[in-house]
Structure 1
Amino acid sequence: MSDRLKALADAGVSIWLDDLSRERIETGNLAAMVDQRSVVGVTTNPTIFAGAIADGERYDAQVRGLVADGADVARTIFELTTEDVRNACDILGQVAAATEHDGRVSIEVEPALARDTDGTIASARALWAAVDRPNALIKIPATAEGLPAITAAISEGISVNVTLIFSTDRYREVMEAYLLGLERARAAGKDVSEIRSVASFFVSRVDTEIDNRLEKIGSDDALALRGKAAVANARLAYAAFQEAFAGPRWESLAADGAHAQRPLWASTGVKNPDYPDTLYVTDLVVADTVNTMPEKTLDAFADHGEVSGDQVSGRGAQAQQVFDALAAVGVDLADVFTVLEDEGVDKFAASWDELTETVQQQLDRAAG
């Protein structure tokens, strides 16, 4: 086991792998990463599944069976992806049994439903029933339409990974949706101790968008702020997390066994080669969080990442100074977060189209 990854885990950061494939499952690679690399969870998305299915022959037998059964592309995607997540949940079952929060595997509702509350709720129910594992998480986007779907899913006892969070304002709404869902679940007589949730706060995309704007502004003050926004944004989010999960309302739920909705740092692969390749891991070390990494980032941290204690707690005021400086040089932060959410929804929809095309090719080949 990498000493650096162990140090990260010992600091209270749960390491989740942002990748899944049937090859990882069947070759024992995923189990080895759990045993040897401190990985305690998995996140997925349509792009990950598209790559896995396009490159792997391990799906062929199931695809042939689905063709023989007359399955269309939508059903095929559903069957292939839920089987992978179900099997990954089984591999991580011991982690889930041994820890309070971890051992979780995420699967996403169809991205086309990002603006459809009722459709998202129906998709979440279907995925939860199909995976049929208590350590699954259903990914629901943090759009305005997704917020009531989050509450509905939680109220029914469905564990949720809320995705595509970019701003602290929206993050506060996500936490409110979660708390309201817990309260409704408790009122309905459900065991809230069985419900888990994480809130996926996207990191690198914030720097990419804001850095582009800073470079267009071009002043010395603006250029000096490059590479600072994403970490500051995440630190503000953590301060909001600490605020939301404290006080009488939360204490009442916690007394009945409820679990806090931990922040999950997503999109932690560094896009700018001028920045350290472990930036969004090293600078966001803090207890009670998850960092979901592509394997490239995990390997980089295992090789040369540094853990120098808590890098987040108590830094909210410093992070706010960064945001004040961004506004002062002319960055429209409200527009930044609107653009990022819209682009995030569009990118996930494009990923779904890619997955659909990939699976249709597999169906056509299997049909001869």
Structure 2
Amino acid sequence: MVNRDIGFSLWLDFVERDYLKNEFSKLIENGTINGATSNPSIFASAITTSPAYKEQLESLAGKSAKEKYEALAIEDIRTAAQALRSSYSEGNDGYISIEVDPFLSNDTEGTIAEGKRLFAAIGEPNVMVKVPATEAGYAAMTELLDTGISVNATLIFSPKQAQKCLKAMTKGLDSFEADGGGRVDAVISVFVSRFDRLLDADLAQEGIDVSRTGIYNAAKIYNLIEKNHTPSIRTLFASTGVKGDELAADYYMRELLASRSVNTAPLATIESFVNSKGLMLKLPIEESEINGYFIKLADSGFNMDEIYASLLKDGLEAFEQAFKEMLESLESIK
């Protein structure tokens, strides 16, 4: 559940048209969530498997695949934003994110143009434009924030990426404030569980605790963001779903419960978290403990810089592949 007393927010990592028009509002009304996120993989799954898009797709005959996708996504994001508007008006987050075309991850101007165009087309103030944390993305974050568009920086794996996000976001926010300001927010989405899926088998062979790398890495980035002392920039913990039955469904959510933070997760993970007993704040973790863990990894031959680079590359490619497959499926619909 959302806990405004400690500044803890819970956002649903799922978008599908029928769900948005029905159960979604109940989660908002009962205080379970106060925001939502989407990404290319989520939209690809929804659009290609749900019959809810059939009627609108028929009306888009003759359009390009990208035009069809944007029309579908814009309507869904607008629906979610309108459902979340009461939360937004109360200052209780109320944001929904839409990601720019993943093939623009190395194109600053293209990212800026698409982010502005999508934000204007949706026409709701409580929309965050999601931008991958690449070299091209940092400059785009600055420009979007400078024009009053809230930003969700995504695919953050390393503290270095988070630091660059902070620098870019702070520059954009300061410029926006100097021009008169208004309400604009930013989150830095730290991906968590992918570290453990990649490393746990090798860590176990070395006798190192498993299912902790993602948590310690996220805790390090959380500390970095909190030390920046910028109220409108918060840590968002993403990729918190577990695979298999070795861990409780809400393991990462419980282990990363922190004040002034956002956690985004699929519905089943959120339900498990809401039903958990004895929840308590787990962050911050002392820097000495975090550093000690990563020294142990380095001493055992794990190169974190290489791991960060590999996970970012894989994440970008996964979003590109999902987007490509979705466009191909839409292309086949005449």
**TM-score interval (norm. to shorter):** over 0.9
Question: Structure 1 residues 121, 203: closer, same or farther in 2, change over 3 A?
Answer: same
Query: 2-side partners of 1:279 and 1:320: how far apart?
Result: 22
Aligned to 1:224: 208
Residues 274-326 of structure 1 deviation map (CA, whole Å, 9 limit, x = unaligned)? 22322111111111100001012112223335412x21124232112111111
Aligned ranges for residues 45-64 of structure 1 at < 5 Å? 45-64=39-58
Partner of 1:277: 249
Task: Determine the C-alpha separation between the residues in 1 that align with 2:15 and 2:274.
Answer: 19
SS in 2 for 1:194: coil
Please point out which of 144, 161, 178 is paired with 1:170. 161
Q: Deviations over 1:162-201 (max 9, x none)?
A: 00000111101101110011122234x141x311111100
1:307 aligns with 2:301: no
Partner of 2:240: 268
Q: C-alpha distance in 1, partners of 2:249/2:200?
A: 17
Matched, 1:98 2:90: yes
Give a deviation string over 1:232-287, Cα, whole Å, max 9, x none: 11111111012112xxxx5xxxxxxxx42110000000125322322111111111
1:22 aligns with 2:14: no
Question: Please, what TM-score do these two structures have when normalized by structure 2?
Answer: 0.95
Structure with a larger share of its residues in helix: 1
Residues 1:160 and 2:184 are matched in the alignment: no
Change (3 A) 1:119 1:137: same
Show structure 1 runs of 5+ residues with no match. 251-258
TM-score by length of 1: 0.86
Which of 287, 298, 312 is 2:270 aligned to?
A: 298
**Partners of 2:6 and 2:260 within 8 A in 1:** no
Q: Over aligned residues, Cα RMSD in angstroms?
A: 1.7
- Alignment-mate amino acid for residue 219 of structure 2: R
Structure 1's 212 and 173: CA in aligned 2 closer, same or farther, altered over 3 A? farther
d(CA) in 2 for partners of 1:271, 1:168: 25
User: In the aligned structure 2, how far is the partner of 1:190 from the partner of 1:354?
Assistant: 43
Change in Cα spacing, 1:305 to 1:10, as seen in structure 2 (3 Å) is farther
Q: Give percent identity, aligned residues only.
A: 31
Equivalenced residue count is: 334
> Is 2:190 the counterpart of 1:201?
yes
Aligned equivalent of 2:125, options 129, 134, 137: 134
Q: Partners of 2:111 and 2:202 in 1: how far apart?
A: 33
Q: Does 1:13 align with 2:8?
A: yes
Q: Which AA in structure 1 matches 2:106?
A: R
What is the one-letter code of the residue matched to 1:45? N
Amino acid at match of 1:207: D
Partner of 1:351: 322
Q: Match of 1:77?
A: 69
Residues 325-344 of structure 1: CA deviation (Å, up to 9, x unaligned)? 11111100000000010001
Partner of 1:210: 199
The code of the aligned residue for 1:334 comes to D
Cα distance, 1:272–1:337 mapped onto 2, change above 3 Å? farther
Amino acid at match of 1:349: E
Cα pair 1:269 1:294 within 8 Å, conserved: yes
Q: Which residue matches 1:114?
A: 105
Report deviation, 1:155.
1.1
Equivalent residue, structure 1, for 2:174? 183
Contact 1:269–1:277 (8 Å) recurs in 2: yes
Q: 201-210 vs 338-347, which deviates more?
A: 201-210
Q: Which has the larger radius of gyration?
A: 1
